[in-house]
Structure 1
C-alpha cells in the first residue's frame, strides 16, 4: 500500500491523481496542480529526521541548478504529512509518454536507427550541462527507466530524470563513488575504481546498443552476466552486425562509448554530443540514409484505446493538452500509431487542431 492515495491533498494546490511507479526508496505519483496542471511527484518512503530529509532532497537541489530542455524540470521541494508520518517530496514535470522502456518494448527488436541517434544526442546534450559543472555532476544511473520520452511542437523531446544517485565529482580526481544499475555500469565502476563523466558516456552507449540490437553489449547470455568482469574480455561486435540499417559513423560513435578503458571513450557527454552532431551534419550534406521498413504490428488494445480517447477529447473545448498527453502515451506504445498520428500530436502541442 502506498503512502498517499488518489484524492489525497498534498498542499493547498496539489492533489494526488494516481501512482506512476515505485521503488525501494520512493513512490512517484501523478499530481494535479490547481494552476499548473499535471506534474510528477517523487515521495520518499523513509522515515527521516529533518537533517536526513534535507539529504534525501539533495536530488531536488541538484535539479534546481540544471535548467536544460533535456533535463526534467523541478517545480517544488517540501514535506507532507502521510499516515506513516512526515515524508519529503519534490515535484517535477510530468511526461505522459513514459520512459525509454516503453519505447523499446513497442519497437522490438530494433528501434529505428535515426530515432536512436536522436535519443543519444538529446541525452548527451542534457548530460553535457551536468558534466560541464565545476566540479562535474555525474548521474551514475543512466538507464532506460530514467530517460523520459515526450513530444513538443518541434518533435520528440527526451528528458534525463532521476538524479537521485547524481553526485558532484571530487574536484581533484573528478571521480565519484560507484552506484547505479549493474547492466548499464562501466567496467571501471564494477572494478570499484570510481565513477566519472566517461562512465555516464558508457551508459548512454549501452542504451543505444540495446535499442539498436535488442541485446546488451558484452552480454554472454548467461544468468547474472551483468555482474561479471570476464565478459569485457570478449570482442564486441558493432551494432551493424545485428542491424544492417546502422551506418558506419554511428557504429564508430557507439563503439567509442563502449571502450572498456575510460580514457579511450569520449571524456564527457559534450564530446559525445559533438560527434553525433557532426554525423547529422554529414548526413544533411550527403545522400539520404537508408530508409527503414515501417512497423506493421497492429496497436495494442490499450494503445488504440488511448488514441481513440485522445481524438474524442481533442474536440472538447479546453481539453487539447490533455488529449495530447493521451496521444503521446499511445504513440510511444505503438510504432504504427506513431507513424499515423505524430504530425497531429506535434500540432496539438503547439495548440493547433485541424
Structure 2
C-alpha cells in the first residue's frame, strides 16, 4: 500500500494526483502544484532517522547542480508526514511520454534509426554535464527505465532521470563503487572494477545497440539474463549494421566504440561521445576552432536576450565540445547559465 494516496496534501500547494510506480526504496507519484501544474514526486519509503532522510535527499542535491535540457529538472525537496512517519521527497518535472521502455513498445518492428540516434545523442548531451563536474558525477544506472521521453510540440526531448545511484567520483581516481542494473553494466563493473564516466558511456552504447538492433550487445540469443556472465564478453560483437542496414559505417564505428571491453578504448566521457555524434550529423565546413568561436560568440550575444538563455547555453556547450581550448575561458560562465544565473 502506498504511503500517500490520491487527494493527500503534501504541502499547502502540492496534492497527490496518482501513483506512477514504485521500487524498493521509493514511490513516484504524479502531483498537482497549485500554480505550476503537474509534477512528479519521488517519495522515499524506508528511512530510520531524519539523518538518513537527509542522506537520501542527496539525489536532489546532485540534481540541483545539473541544469540541462536533457536532465530532468528539480523543483523542490522537503519532508512530509505519512502514516509510516516522516519521509523525504523531492519534486521534478513530469514527463508524460514515459520511458524508453514505452518508446520501444510503440515500435514493435524496431525503433527508426534516426530516432535511436537522436535518443543516443540527447542522453550523451545530458550526461556530459554530469561528467564534466569536478570531480565527475557518474550516474551508475543508465537504463531504458531511467531515460524519459517527452515532446516539446512535435520535437522529441529526452531527459536522463533517477540519479539515485549517482555519485561523485573519487577526485584522484575518478572512479566510483559499482552499482546499477546488471544488463547495462560494463565489463569492468561486473568484475567489481569500479565505475567511471566510460562505464556510463557503455550503458549509453547498450541502449543505442538495443534501439538500433533489437538485441543486447554480446547476447547469445538466449536473452541477456539467461547466461549473463563475464564470459559473454569474449564473444565477438556484431556491428549494428549486421541487423539494421540503415546504420551507416560512421554510426557503426561510434556505437562499437562505446562497447569496447577495455574502458580505455571507449570515449572517455559522454561529452566526447556527444561530440562524435554531432560531427557525424553535421560535419563542420569550417575548421573546428573557427566554427567553435562563432558558436561561442553567438552564445555570448544571446544570453542577455530575454528567453534565450537556454539556447545560449546549448551553443556554448557545443562550442566547448567542438574545441576544448575554450573550456578554461567559458566553462565558469556556462555553469552559471545552467543554473539560470546571468552575470
RMSD: 1.5
Structure 2 counterparts to residues 192-341 of structure 1, below 5 A: 192-222=192-222, 224-225=225-226, 227-282=228-283
Give the secondary structure class of the aligned counterpart of 1:145. coil
- Name 1:99's counterpart in structure 2: 99
Deviation of residue 47 (structure 1)? Answer: 2.8
The 2-side partners of 1:48 and 1:185 are apart by 30
Structure 2 counterparts to residues 130-149 of structure 1, below 5 A: 130-149=130-149
Give the secondary structure class of the aligned counterpart of 1:208. helix
Q: Is the 8 A contact 1:183 1:226 kept in 2?
A: no
The 1-side partners of 2:203 and 2:110 are apart by 18
Change in Cα spacing, 1:26 to 1:284, as seen in structure 2 (3 Å) is farther
The 2-side partners of 1:173 and 1:231 are apart by 28
Deviation of residue 105 (structure 1)? Answer: 1.1
The 1-side partners of 2:92 and 2:283 are apart by 36
The 2-side partners of 1:203 and 1:284 are apart by 32
The 2-side partners of 1:167 and 1:45 are apart by 21
Q: Is the 8 A contact 1:47 1:85 kept in 2?
A: no
Name the count of aligned residue pairs: 285
Q: Is the 8 A contact 1:22 1:28 kept in 2?
A: yes
The 2-side partners of 1:6 and 1:254 are apart by 43
Give the secondary structure class of the aligned counterpart of 2:260. coil
The 2-side partners of 1:100 and 1:284 are apart by 34
Is 1:2 matched with 2:2?
yes
The 2-side partners of 1:76 and 1:221 are apart by 44
Deviation of residue 221 (structure 1)? Answer: 3.0
- Name 2:125's counterpart in structure 1: 125
Deviation of residue 226 (structure 1)? Answer: 6.2
Give the secondary structure class of the aligned counterpart of 2:140. coil
Give the secondary structure class of the aligned counterpart of 1:227. coil
The 2-side partners of 1:226 and 1:31 are apart by 41
Q: Structure 1: 5+ residue runs without aligned partners?
A: 286-354
The 1-side partners of 2:182 and 2:226 are apart by 10
- Name 1:175's counterpart in structure 2: 175
Give the secondary structure class of the aligned counterpart of 2:218. coil
Give the secondary structure class of the aligned counterpart of 2:128. helix
The 2-side partners of 1:268 and 1:284 are apart by 25
The 2-side partners of 1:229 and 1:160 are apart by 27
Q: Which contiguous aligned blocks of 4+ residues in structure 1 show a shift greater than 2 angstroms?
A: 221-227, 282-285
The 2-side partners of 1:242 and 1:88 are apart by 46
Q: Structure 2: 5+ residue runs without aligned partners?
A: 287-343
